[in-house]
Amino acid sequence: MHWFMDSLAAVGLVSLVAVLGYWLKRVWWLPRQARLQRKQFIANIGKEVLFGVMLPDGQDGFFHVDALLLTDIGVVVLDIRDWDGMIYGAENMHEWTVMHHNGRYTIPNPLSSLYDRIAVIRPVLGEWLPVQGRVLFGPNASFPKGRPHWVSVLEEMPMEFQTRPPGPGEILDLHAPNAQAAWQRLKSLTSPSPHRVLAR
């Protein structure tokens, strides 16, 4: 009888370890790997990239920025979202709707906070480096009614921000002393953020 109970306990232990391993892989390891791959993809786009920083908001406070990229077209402020499902929203809507297999819910318009970040960063860079922003979604988000302005998906970012033939007024010398000074000035204002990047 004892050998039977021991065998049963051993089977139970093996099953528990297998279930725990499967859970850790699905809930922790795979999402972590996806975040690291996405982070590396973004890093390859910028000439320089700062992930997860805090910047002063000009009112004795600070705000979090998921990523700041120095690119061929200037500085890009990234607000990274991991929302899945079909997303319905527009630039002037207060709330956006997300349709997911788990249900339907609303989210605050993410463009409002992005505009606030850009407004604070622009005076720091002055006339030497243009600044724009993007709310960045991953591959599991879709926009059936059209994607709002300044919303991007990861796969299209290289086409938007890496080297391309410049149009009128788009020639930007990132090595010019004034441009470098503006970027260094912005970097000097940053500090590490306690908020996790690419986890939302």
In-domain check, residue 200: no
pTM confidence score: 0.77
Burial of 199 (0-12, 13-18, 19+ CB in 10 A): exposed
CA atoms within 13 A on the CB side of 21: 6
**Percentage of residues in the chain having pLDDT higher than 90:** 42
Q: What are phi and psi of 91, to 5 degrees?
A: -60, -35
Please report the pLDDT score of residue 199 as a whole number: 41
Domain count, the chain: 1
pLDDT in tens, 131-164: 999 999 887 889 999 999 899 988 888 887 765 5
- Show the domain range for 175: 2-192
In-domain check, residue 198: no
Tokens coding 46: 């910028």
In-domain check, residue 199: no
In-domain check, residue 197: no
In-domain check, residue 140: yes
CA distance 104 to 137: 18
